[in-house]
Structure 1
Amino acid sequence: MVDAIVGLALSLGLVAPTAVSVTTGVAQGVSEQHKQNADAANQTRMLKFHIDVHIDEKRRKGKAAALHNGIITLHSDKLWIEAKDPETGWPVDATHHPFTGFYLAYPDDNRPSTRGMVSTITVDPPMLNWIYIDNSTYALSYANRSGSIAHHVGSFDWTSDANDSSITFDSWEGFLAVEEAAGKWALYFDMDDDGLKAIRKDKKAVEVSLVRRVVTGQEVNKWGLTEEGNMGFRATKEVDKISGKNKG
């Protein structure tokens, strides 16, 4: 249990370098989210999910056809679109970690309140990183707070309150799959709404929708988030007290 809390706190960058306990540091991140949880819709944004890929039928041509019904994975510092096992719902390549995360308020006093998105990047301990859009390349990447804070960290959201809703950034589904190498497709965001012409150059690109698939039970446990608590650990009285849930 201690390993899980340490991993979560350090990877999210919520623990101060001075004598602040790990539990307190994680609770500060939870407290930031509680400020936004004025309604049930915000609270459901902390449900854990994988990300599946949908491509409109008219765009399922050539190489792009293989991306439809794929899954988002994290490796080599980027988010990728890969084949999904239809029986397990996990990546065909078992060495690649599927996105397994949720929405969480990004802790930064120097910017307006922003809804970020986090994912586990390892299973044991269940390390969480922030998802961000690189300022220069517009590729979707992941890092701890210090590695993500200079980039576009939000606001992430979804298109509806259904479990299979699509992910948005800045209220728009502007995601593109770009073929980085033969058969290897990375996830980008069309920040300038120009098809990433200057960035991708002669690389093939296709518009994709990112469909949120809520996960439960053993599927959650396998990829680093347990059933107990939205952050993947059992909330203690100390966490509840700091985060404002327990006024007693």
Structure 2
Amino acid sequence: MEIIMGLGLALPVVTTTGISVTTGVAQGVSEQKKQNADAANQTRMLKFHLDVRVDDDSSQQRKPNKDADFNNYIVTLRNDKLWVEAKSPITRLPDNVAHHPFTGFYLAYPDNDRPYTRGLVSTISVDPPMLNWIYIDKDTLEAKYASRSGSIAHHVGSYDWTSEEGDDSCITFDEWEGFLAVEEAEGEWALYFDVEDDGLKGVRKGRRAVEVSLVRRVISEQETNKWGLGSEGNIGFKKTREV
């Protein structure tokens, strides 16, 4: 059995015809059906980056500063948080090559005290190829990443998407798109989720905020290893150690 570094769970090796996810105690027929449906849907295991989009008809549509456009931005991970920053038009990766782009997929969150919850994971580094859970901080509403022990007390899902096909598939959390980019310093935009649907009242503290959509950009097969994601074996990830 393989251990996925940073996730705090063990997953069985799978074949190319199905995915088996061990979640422990069964949590009722309806929850089991959701789990089985996800396990059978290998599309959810496709790895993707997250590009940023601002709808043209949104009242929040504007440039984050005079030299940039959110529609040319990408989600990155650093300092335990998710950020929205400029993307190179050539590489379609962060302008700052030292910053790690979101590179992840959907995965059942391992918690027997919750109903079945579809989580979201991302690599946080290439070497070692470590995955962390993406969560919403229950106090600050910031989008962050951590191991299971660091994320379990917060909002960990369920994550989903707006469409299974096409180039218009966006990330949802708790069944809707409520992501905002908040300017934490000049030119530094962090990702938040508007849990209460109140424009982050009590959290923004006068800072500028822009409603954003997070568009799934599926990573091609030949690119997977570049980001620490293998193309074979358990959920397409490198084996780290045997137990």
TM-score tier, shorter chain, comes to 0.7 to 0.9
> What amino acid is the match of 1:47?
L
Q: In structure 2, what is the equivalent of residue 151 of structure 1? A: 154
Residue 210 of structure 1 aligns to which amino acid in structure 2? L
The partner residue of 2:79 within 76, 79, 89 is 76
Partner of 1:32: 22
Identity value in percent: 63
CA 1:56–1:150 in structure 2 vs 1: closer, same or farther (change >3 Å)? same
Deviation at 1:233, TM superposition (A): 3.2
Number of residue pairs aligned between Structure 1 and Structure 2: 220
1:22 aligned residue: none
- State the distance in 2 between where 1:108 and 1:123 align: 27
Matches within 5 A, 1:1-248: 8=4, 10-14=5-9, 25-27=10-12, 30-32=20-22, 36-38=35-37, 42-58=41-57, 59-63=60-64, 66-164=69-167, 165-229=169-233, 230-233=235-238
TM-superposed CA distance for 1:76, in Å, is: 0.7
Whether the aligned pair in 1 keeps the contact of 2:11 and 2:22 (CA below 8 Å) is: no
Equivalent position amino acid for 1:11 in 2? G
**2:92 partner amino acid:** G
SS of the aligned residue for 2:215 comes to strand
Q: Which amino acid aligns with 2:77?
A: L
| TM-superposed deviation, 1:42 | 3.1
Distance in 2 between residues matched to 1:189 and 1:106, nearest whole Å: 19
User: Residues of 2 paired with 1:187 and 1:48: CA distance?
Assistant: 20
**Aligned-residue RMSD, C-alpha:** 2.4
Identify the structure with the greater helix proportion.
1
Decide whether the 8 Å contact of 2:21 with 2:39 is kept in 1.
no
Contact 2:129 2:238 in 1 (8 A): no
Q: Is the 8 A contact 2:80 2:145 kept in 1?
A: yes
The 3-state SS of whatever aligns with 2:191 is strand
Deviation at 1:27, TM superposition (A): 2.2
8 Å CA contact 1:157, 1:169 repeated in 2: yes
8 Å CA contact 1:122, 1:224 repeated in 2: yes
What is the SS of the residue equivalent to 2:11?
Answer: helix
The CA distance in 2 between the partners of 1:223 and 1:39, in whole Å, is 24
Deviations 1:126-156 (A, max 9, x none): 1000000000000000000000000000000
Tell me if the contact between 1:163 and 1:213 (Cα under 8 Å) persists in the aligned partners: no
Q: What amino acid sits opposite 1:91 in the alignment?
A: P
**Which TM-score applies when normalising by structure 1?**
0.81
- Partner-residue secondary structure (3-state), 1:191: coil
In structure 2, give the amino acid aligned to 1:102. Answer: F
Q: Structure 1: give runs of 5+ residues left out of the alignment.
A: 15-24, 240-248
TM-score, structure 2 as length reference: 0.83
CA contact (8 A) 1:60 1:68 kept: no
Structure-1 separation of matches of 2:187 and 2:38: 43
Unaligned 5+ runs, structure 2? 14-18, 24-31
User: 1:78/1:39 Cα in 2 relative to 1: closer, same or farther (>3 Å)?
Assistant: closer
